[in-house]
Structure 1
Amino acid sequence: MKHLFSLGAVMASLAALPAMAQDNLRIDGLEVIGKPVDGEMGFQPAATRLAQDIHDLDWLILVIITAITLFVVALIGWVIIRYNAKRNPNAASFTHHTPVEVAWTVGPILILVLIGAYSLPILFRQQEIPEADVTIKVIGNQWYWSYEYVDEGFAFDSYMIGAPATITADEQERGAVANQYGPVMQEKLEAAGYDRDAWLLATDTAVVVPVGQTIVMQVTASDVIHSWTIPAFGVKQDGVPGRLAELWFEAEREGVYFGQCSELCGQAHAYMPITVKVVSEEAYQAWLGAAKEEYAGIPQPIQIASN
């Protein structure tokens, strides 16, 4: 079932706190950090230790393979020049060269040991799930995500802005077409606090987590295999029906981060984005209280600002 988040119901009780509605969280100055950029190459900015590990490992391997490539090209060039028929009319004939054979055996072994010694701790750090500060169960569906804040007792669904489930009858009368950008979709993006660049990336409801805390995502699916991923966090995990897998991250920087279902899951696979908003602890607690009241009907105490 699709849930909508409204700020009006809690505005009076949270008057002294920042506005934390899903659709206007960026008003508090959140920067869009993790998103693809047209014409650019490379990784998105690393927002977690896990992502930085991946970047460092990629750089190490790039240096190694570049050095190997340059060495092999130089060796081939030297052989072409030194042993061509003009300079070396009488070709030598031999079947073994022990030093060379030892070198091309020991050299690759040392390189692989170096890569393994660097990469295995990174892999273990990804796979060893620490104790969670916040646990969220994410369920992949065709073609949207459901999120359950396990310890807080509420859940919501998250659709791409412009998906069929997000379009009202009034918007259809005004010419809105699902998954197609137009004036109505532009209005929907702007109402949610996004610009044109967030089209096909932004969702109507976002996962909200506190900065600097350990977040454990329990990933599964209700129908076919999906995959939950945030590139800037360096995490990706398949959601398989009937199975529960886990990933974790600790975001080091407040901001808005985008991801995408990364497992081909049907005809609307391309319209299944992920939005995560990383906020301060104070902002998270304010949003959490409002979310409990909106999604689970749990009344929150009214806070009266003292003079």
Structure 2
Amino acid sequence: MNIVFFVLLFYPFISLADAPENWQIGFQDPATPIMQGIIDLHHDILFFMLVILVFVLWMLARTLYHFHHSRNPVPEKILHGTTIEIAWTVTPSLILVLIAIPSFALLYSMDEVVDPAVTIKAIGHQWYWSYEYSDYNQSDNEGLLFDSYMIPEDELEYGQLRLLDVDNRVVVPVNTHIRMIITSADVLHSWAVPSLGVKTDAVPGRLNQTPIFIKREGVFYGQCSELCGANHAFMPIVVEAVSLENYISWVSNKLDEM
């Protein structure tokens, strides 16, 4: 009951970070199991790093203290120690195994594409993105496709983000297996949305795919993450996750407009 009261009291001040913020040094809030796994793996590795850092600093301080010339004027002559050799070989190996097991599992899940309910093709251009919902193509020449351009600064409305908002968002349903097929029409690009844990290269003449399963509704911002020319910083990505009912309504309206 106290937790509910706390959430209701501070709800206006609590928001999910699905876009970059000023002076941000951490991750954006995860919206997919993949991104949650990336954050968890980062925290686990950081824990091992802190433990190793503290241990090494303690060993250095202890060595400097006990082997100072005033306390140990005659140096020790230790040529070989089997026990310590085994210890500093086996211990790091065990630590690496503990890190490798979850990282391999995460890498496998990032490449595994479950039978998708929605397939979206993203095509990088200099300098904008175009999207094709190939599941709804009615013929070879007709389909649900559109271009997505960054909104110029002088056309931004209240609440829109500078250099991040676009005129046409990628609308997807939540709790649905989505397959993103990513390619390029000219040079190398990269389709990256941090909150979704996605960063896939767009290579001319090649199709790369990545799975997405968004757990909550929201608007998620990303940018091209491969240097692609003079306007590389002006081709953002906006993914809007909505309920299945709203998604079906959006698709119907788009098809009616064509």
Residue 41 of structure 1, CA deviation:
1.6
Residue 62 of structure 1, CA deviation:
0.2
Residue aligned with 1:151, SS: helix
Residue 189 of structure 1, CA deviation:
2.1
C-alpha RMSD of the superposition:
1.2
Scaled by the length of structure 2, what TM-score is found? 0.90
Q: 2:79 aligns with which of 95, 98, 113?
A: 95
- Check if 1:208 corresponds to 2:171: yes
**For 2:64 and 2:16, how far apart are their aligned partners in 1?**
53
- Check if 1:284 corresponds to 2:247: yes
| Preserved contact between residue 229 and residue 236 of structure 1 (Cα < 8 Å) | yes
Residue aligned with 2:214, SS: coil
**For 1:46 and 1:32, how far apart are their aligned partners in 2?**
9
- Check if 1:157 corresponds to 2:124: no
Scaled by the length of structure 1, what TM-score is found? 0.76
- Check if 1:73 corresponds to 2:61: no
- Check if 1:195 corresponds to 2:159: yes
| Preserved contact between residue 150 and residue 166 of structure 2 (Cα < 8 Å) | yes
Residue 129 of structure 1, CA deviation:
1.1
Alpha-carbon displacement from aligned partner over 1:200-243 (angstroms, at most 9, x marks no partner): 00000000001110111000001001000110011110010000
Distance 1:150 1:66, change over 3 A: same
Q: 2:103 aligns with which of 108, 119, 138?
A: 119
| Structure with the larger RCO, 1 or 2 (CA within 8 Å, 6+ apart) | 1
Give structure 1 regions of 4+ aligned residues with deviation exceeding 4 angstroms: none
Residue aligned with 2:122, SS: strand
Letter aligned with residue 123 of structure 1: L
Q: 1:269 aligns with which of 232, 235, 252?
A: 232
User: Which residues of structure 1 form unaligned runs of 5+?
Assistant: 1-30, 163-180, 298-307
Residue 33 of structure 1, CA deviation:
4.5
User: Which residues of structure 2 form unaligned runs of 5+?
Assistant: 1-14, 138-143
Match of 1:130 in 2: 114
Letter aligned with residue 159 of structure 2: D
Alpha-carbon displacement from aligned partner over 1:270-297 (angstroms, at most 9, x marks no partner): 0010001000111111100011122xx2
Residue 40 of structure 1, CA deviation:
2.2
Alpha-carbon displacement from aligned partner over 1:165-205 (angstroms, at most 9, x marks no partner): xxxxxxxxxxxxxxxx3xxx2xx322xxx525x11000000
